Amino acid sequence: MLWALPLTFVSVLFYWPIARITSIGFAGDWLATLGSEKNQQIIWFTLWQAGLSTLATLLIAIPGAYLLYRKSFRGQLAIRALITVPFVLPSIVVAVGFTVFRNVHDFWIDLGFTFLSDPVYWIISAHVFVNYSIAVRTIGGVWATMDSEIEEAAELDGAGRLKTLLAISLPQLRPAIFSAAALVFLFSATSFGIVLVLGGAQVQTIETAIYFAATQFLDLEGAAALVLVQTLITAAAFLVGSSLAKGTVGLEQVFEGSPKPRVDLRDLPATLITAATVIGLLVMPMLLVLVEAFRVGDGFGLTNFANLSTRGARDLLNISVLDAAANSLRNMLVAASISFLLGTLISWLLVRSKTKLLDLVFLVPLGVSSVVLGFGFLISFDASWFNLRSSWLIVPLAQALIALPMVIRLVYPALVSIGKEPIEQAGLDGASSWQIWRFVESGMIKGVLLTALGYAAIISIGEFGASSFLAYGSQGTIPTLLFRLIARPGEQNYGMAMAVSAILIAFSFLVVYLTSRQARTLRLQASA
């Protein structure tokens, strides 16, 4: 009976729109559409840039996971929160940050480094920027719980850190690495805002091609044909990653094992790589945006923030940024509440279910992009008897569906990690299922639940792909208005875009830091 609500939710809001897109795609000459030289180039670029982004992310994430989860040092919690900010930032803000970053580096092109003029370089860099924390948290979360005795014995036998890493640590981390690789590939292959802004008219992925086909050329059959390919790619990546991981790997661990040793001189290579990554790749784009937000002409001031109450130069916007912020906050409250409650319920039910198919049913949306979802909503919910498309609720419902798999990805592994013994013991003592959840399970994973709620809120307020299809007129959100500001020239519009981006960066960091800090406190209390 409890399955009815989540199954109805995901069936109506996800599988029905996907089925509608599929029917439109197969109704047209989809083979000819996909066989065109332009679309083949788009598909190939989507694949290889996602693969390269994944490889680059893993190479620098493994040292970061070691330093941030296997060792201890002052300020570790703050750095963990800092590297998480890029992942939860709206993709359009990331694109804005790297646009500023790219402009600052124009002088390198004048010195002969012409490869920096290629947008592919910046797209891949931005993907690494976004996905670094996912790889670090996934790998590091498992690494933190591993027994260190084997590694210590190897070091006593004369094995160096590198040999110990290759021979002992990495084989044990293989499921986590495969899981992280699958996620990074999926997020890179379905990236929209980053490619839309940084790629310009020079390069396109399947995501941007779907958007242009549906909104500019009104080619629904062509867009649907590309959705078929995108869905196959993401489904294949999800299935391959899940089969290679061979287990449940979460993004947040309930327990991190015994206290970790302090950083020493032998950790210098990992320290240097991580420091260079955090400062040069993660902090710099965000810092440049913060500086630009206060820049007014040749000086600095608060003019850009004051202009947020206006509609931009020559009334570019339909509503002010403050009105869009109100819409975004309203949508966030609805979307985060729905995704958190349903995600927690689904996770609880999955732990008690022996059917792996149900796990797949609810995690498949993780691999389908928000652009595809927005396109599906656009063509599926305009019937007279169910005209959801004309309601403001369509945006938070889409955002809830996007955040739902992330909540499950956090809560479900945490529940699995509790084990059966506490639940069985509570059952033998006469506790009902509700009492077991209330007094045992929820208490042991309070930190993870808080993290899931925080992630759901930030993902909802920053969602851009689906909103670009669904949020029009007076229902515009912060990300949709930000794209309009950055896409139009003019000092006032540019300054407002920087101000909005700076506010979102500060908001995301604050939420992530406070959530992480409280979650850690709750985990320590639960393990005491």
* Paired tokens of 463: 């969602």
- pLDDT confidence of residue 428: 75
Q: At what angle do helices 370-380 and 394-418 cross, to 10 degrees?
A: 130
Residue 87 lies in a domain: yes
Residue 14 lies in a domain: no
- pLDDT confidence of residue 342: 94
Domains identified in the chain, total number: 1
Q: Where residue 314 falls among pLDDT bands split at 50, 70, 90? A: confident
Q: What is the CATH number of the domain that holds 364?
A: 1.10.3720.10
- pLDDT confidence of residue 258: 63
Inter-residue contact 453 to 444 (CB < 8 Å): no
pTM of the model: 0.82
**SS3 call for 300:** strand
**Nearest-angstrom CA–CA distance, 501 and 508:** 10
Residue 205 lies in a domain: yes
The range of the structural domain enclosing residue 238 comes to 53-527
**Nearest-angstrom CA–CA distance, 57 and 86:** 13
Residues 487-497 have a mean pLDDT of 83
Residue 520 lies in a domain: yes
Residue with tokens 């929820």: 442
Residue 4 lies in a domain: no
- Residue 51, pLDDT > 90, answer yes
* DSSP line for 448-472: HHHHHHHHHHHHHHH--TTHHHH--
**SS3 call for 216:** coil
Residue 34 lies in a domain: no
Residue 131 lies in a domain: yes
Mean pLDDT of the chain: 81
